[in-house]
A and B are shown apart, each in its own frame.
Chain A
Amino acid sequence: MNYIFAFLILFSLICAVYTGKLDTVMTSALASAGRAVELAIALIGVMAFWLGIVNIAKKSGLTNVFSKIIKKPLLLLFPDLKNNNEALSNITLNISANALGLMNAATPFGIKAMESMQRKNPEKEKATNSMCTFLAINTAGFQLVPAMVIAILASNNMENPQIIIIPTLIVTSIAFLSAIFFVKILEGFFK
């Protein structure tokens, strides 16, 4: 992350000198810093609502029931979560909510999963293998139906926007599997 962060900024500054856009780059940098805060504030309400619902499910024992069902297959992906049922069930709920295109509901489950993994993490500032696997799966963005994109195409009067469903499903599955592949291959090289 240190290298990516420094690279993005330094490369942008060099390009900006080359293209003569230094002032626009600085203005937009500061403007987007402001937007980042606005975005976080805008998240509070939705996040609070879903965290409330998630907590009801957790306290009633529903998440535990859920985790017992899917524990075995998930342990293949997350072997170090053997004794962390809470994380496993939140991971499942996150992946299912994402698959159904419920981003708002998926995020709190994902954060809860991260929190329960963090509780057993000996080094609090460094990601564990399971955290990295879980993150990579999420960045691949597996989704059964790309509802938002279809809505955009439909609102622009595309004749049959649903033709993108099958190709998108194939591509997102390939990306999903390759995320798992890469994260497992790389995990030995980044201690």
Chain B
Amino acid sequence: MIKILNNLSVFILPFMIAFILIFALFKKAPVYENFIDGAKEGFSIATRIIPYLVAIMVCTAMFRESGAIDIIEKILSPVLNYFKVPSETTLIMLTRSLSGSATLGVLGDIINQSGVNSYAVKLAAVITGSSETTFYVASVYFGSIGIKKFRHALLAGILADVVGIVAAVWVCSIFFL
């Protein structure tokens, strides 16, 4: 099963590119010129999202380094202990929505501390795999078109992340405990 899925993801990109090219040739569209026109925008989009990325990465870095996460971790851990959540995983729940690289770092720490076959690693892996870095996605997508007023988008994303974490704790306790 996993072999098939892995092979599928290896083949799907080349297949997609080939299909797009063949379809365009069949329709007699100028593929090279259209490629260049589209690729031109890569630079401007990347520069447009810079202020958004700076804003979000600076405030998440400050949040991480200030010990704010440790303080929240301390407040939360009695509650989480009650639900049989290993304390090693509290940190990853807090970093998941904020920073992708920090989350992978924390996952690595949990693997080293608790051993790769532990329950904590399984829970952390499910949390990491089932969600996206909400703040990063918001900066890139809204940044690329210059939206400054996010309205309810971020709040909905964060609430969904919280539901996801609760679901992860619940589902993992059924599967792995």
Contacts and interface: CB of A to CB of B under 8 A. Distances in A.
How big is chain B's contact interface, by range? 35 or more
The 5 closest A-B pairs by CB, nearest first: A55-B38, A48-B42, A146-B129, A141-B132, A175-B164
B64 to A, nearest CB: 8
B157 A8 contact: no
A25 B100 CA distance: 19
9 contacts: A13-B62, A29-B62, A29-B65, A47-B42, A57-B20, A59-B29, A100-B9, A101-B9, A179-B160
A169 B140 CA distance: 25
A1 B151 CA distance: 8
Given A29-B58, A139-B132, A127 B156 contact: no
Interface string B1-42: 110011011001100110011011001011100111111111
Interface of A: 1, 4-5, 8-9, 11-13, 15-16, 18-19, 21, 24-25, 28-33, 35-37, 39-41, 43-45, 47-49, 51-62, 100-102, 105, 107, 110-111, 114-115, 117-118, 124-127, 131-132, 134-136, 138-141, 143-150, 152-153, 156-159, 161-172, 174-176, 178-179, 182-183, 186-187, 189-190
Contacts of B176: 163, 167
Contact of B20 (A5, A56, A175): A56
B152 A189 contact: yes
A152 to B, nearest CB: 7
B95 interface: no
Contacts of B66: 11-13, 15-16, 19, 21, 25
B156 A8 contact: no
B116 A156 contact: yes
Contact of B164 (A11, A41, A44, A172): A172
A51 B17 CA distance: 12
